Amino acid sequence: MGKNQRHKKDLKADKAKVKLKQTKTKFLPKGLNVTKTEFKIKPIVLPEQLKQKGPDEILSRRKLNIKDLLSRIKHYNENMRYSACEELSDMIKIHTQEIIEQHLAQISLAVSGLMQDKERKVRKAAVKAIKTILEHISEEFLNPFFNYFSTNLRCSMTNIDWNIQEDSLQFLDCFINHQSKLIVKNSEKLLPDFLSLISKMRNDSEIGRTLTLNLGSKMTSVSWKIKVLSRLHDILNIILHVNKQENENRQEKVIESSIGYKGGLFKSNFNQVLDNCNFDIFGISKIADNGVHGINRHIKTLIPLLYETWLEVVPEQKGHKSTSESYILSEEMAALLTCITKTLHLLYCYVKTVHNEEINLNTVFMSTEGQKFLNHLLGNVPYGHSGLGGKKWKALGITQWNNDPKCVHENLLICFLYLTLHVNCTQRNFKKQASLIDNYLTKVLLQKYFLKEDNCECLLELFTESLVHNPRKWFQSGVDLQATLEHSITLYDGNKIANEQQRLKCFHILSSFINNERFNRNPSYQRWLRNLPNEFNKKRIAEPMIGAMLRLSQRNCREFQGALLEKLPSVLENLNSIQVTFTSNSVLNNEDVALRTLAAIFYYLPYTKDQNVVLKQFLDNSQSKFKTSLKQVLDLR
């Protein structure tokens, strides 16, 4: 191809291209084509940190005030948030009063928001800050701002991030360890989100729950459930404690009147109505419908949830285990058994205090699943476990673990709950199960060492329910009350109770049977009555025990009076120097009154001539305070 042809081809290709129109240059009209020399400036603003601090202003160790620290808590850098939270904790310890008066609302909002921080380091600092706040600031000042903490705590429990869910228990522990009443006031809101850590709602329209699995966790499913259930136990314990305090405060105080008193008569506790007002004027929380406490709405879901949790660990078996063999559990299973049995006992104590048609022992415990649960628990008694894992569970943050290889307390709680609930809520006879429980109680009481305080308390609670409150109903249900009575005597005489208060409680249980023909003819009980005067030969005697022995003497208990007269010389000699001790159950903490009560025991005794001579010799020779009280009492005969 020649050059001309190539040139023509290039021209043709250029003409084929899309031509873009060029705009004509527009020039400014005359008068506007002038260079502008104007310019804008911005004022220089010094940050708060660079300003001169006032001489009376509260500063941290790095010379930062409260506003600076609160702004740094919201900083994008995790180290800034961490250091600001730590410095804020230090300032709360030193300048508590100033912070309460000026910055408590802002601090509560900022620190509570760190519960949902992405960084574990910052969340740990927030836990320390909340502990410091609870230690140095009373609930009276925190109450208006607790909604900040509860809202962020609930959000952290339902957070998508599994690590934040785990750390939410540490934030909850801050309030549990301080026995905070604020948890009770917010239990209606807190409990559903708390239970969502291990379960979910079956349906949106129902309250029932089913267990869930957290596959993203590094710990086992059982360990996680133990951590959650141990906190549930602590929450119920706080609720019971607060309810007990409120009931005690409601009791009217008796004001002793005096003839010469002058002054205004008025009731001084009218202001308590406002202080204890549970109504939320500002709409932060809802008022419970029909006067039902918030937690009552979720009580019925706990028993099926605990049953399902236990079935995952110990499934039901068709064959029956020998009653003499222990069901050996692993460390995790034993810790879970401890959580479940203690939680069941607290639920039982709580439901007894609720006066509601929907919430009672029958509706909560004796449903179909509830009866299956109790039968399943009792079917494997006695439980035991293979090793001690206290250090391991403490490292995992679990507050309830089992350090008793024989699981005595857990077995006793199961026996107590099974017997009490079936006697009070059913009409059927369960002699077979009662015999199994009786054999286990005999085995426990034959042990040579002291029983632990919680084990003794459980036994005393069982004896009180069966022997004192309604023995006829227990007898009709197939329970051998004579064997139960002998167990209580063995507990008292066998010196298995180390706690003096529990020993007095056992004494009062036994001394209340003097007019019960079903019990007072028991040979073991009559032997116990004859041994009672030995208490007068000890160095000390409790004031409540003196009152109980006076009632025995007033009712002419032959066994007690006869044994006391036989030991009259040694008893009178020891009463010269005996020391009366007072307990929390003592009515009057007055030694003179206690000695007069002690002397009144001898007023009702049928003396012989020889015994009258012994009395006269004692009154002539003794110089003690008891001698004066005894002489005054005997002069009235």
pLDDT digits (tens, 9 = 90+) for 597-629: 888 888 888 888 888 888 888 888 878 888 888
**What stretch of H or E contains 209?**
strand 209-211
Q: What's the pLDDT score for residue 344? A: 92
Share of the chain above pLDDT 70, in %: 83
Which pLDDT band, with edges at 50, 70 and 90, does 342 fall under? Answer: very high
Which pLDDT band, with edges at 50, 70 and 90, does 204 fall under? Answer: low
Share of the chain above pLDDT 90, in %: 5
Return the bridge partners of 210, or none. 200
State both tokens at 227.
């951590």
Residue 474 or 588, more confident: 474
- Distance from C-alpha of 380 to C-alpha of 328, rounded to nearest angstrom: 10
Q: What's the pLDDT score for residue 258? A: 45
- Distance from C-alpha of 134 to C-alpha of 112, rounded to nearest angstrom: 13
Which has the closest alpha carbon to 580: 623, 549, 536? 536
Q: Over 60: is that where the pLDDT of 353 sits?
A: yes
Q: What's the pLDDT score for residue 53? A: 66
Residue 21 or 195, more confident: 195
State both tokens at 38.
């104007």
Q: Over 60: is that where the pLDDT of 455 sits?
A: yes
Q: Over 70: is that where the pLDDT of 50 sits?
A: no
Task: Report angle CA 438, 443, 446 to the nearest 5 degrees.
Answer: 125
DSSP letter for each residue of 48-93: GGGSPPPTTS---TTS--HHHHHHHHT-SSHHHHHHHHHHHHHHHH
pLDDT digits (tens, 9 = 90+) for 378-423: 888 888 887 655 555 555 555 556 677 888 888 899 988 988 888 8
Return the bridge partners of 201, or none. 209
- Mean pLDDT over residues 139-154, rounded? 88
pTM flag (> 0.85): no
Q: What's the pLDDT score for residue 450? A: 64
pLDDT digits (tens, 9 = 90+) for 78-107: 899 999 899 888 888 888 888 888 888 888
pLDDT digits (tens, 9 = 90+) for 535-561: 888 888 888 888 888 888 888 888 888
SS3 248: helix
Residue 597 or 497, more confident: 597
Q: What's the pLDDT score for residue 634? A: 83
Max mean pLDDT among 36-45, 91-100, 112-121, 438-447 falls in: 112-121
- Distance from C-alpha of 140 to C-alpha of 516, rounded to nearest angstrom: 51
* Cα dihedral 63, 68, 73, 77 sign: negative
Q: 402-416, 425-439, 452-466: which has the minimum mean pLDDT?
A: 425-439
On the CB side of 29, CA atoms within 13 Å amount to: 0
For residues 232 and 183, is the Cβ–Cβ distance under 8 A? no
Q: What's the pLDDT score for residue 341? A: 92
- Supply the mean pLDDT for the chain: 79
- Mean pLDDT over residues 202-221, rounded? 66
Going by their DSSP bridges, the two strands 383-385 and 327-329 should be labelled as parallel
- Distance from C-alpha of 79 to C-alpha of 234, rounded to nearest angstrom: 34
Q: What's the pLDDT score for residue 191? A: 86
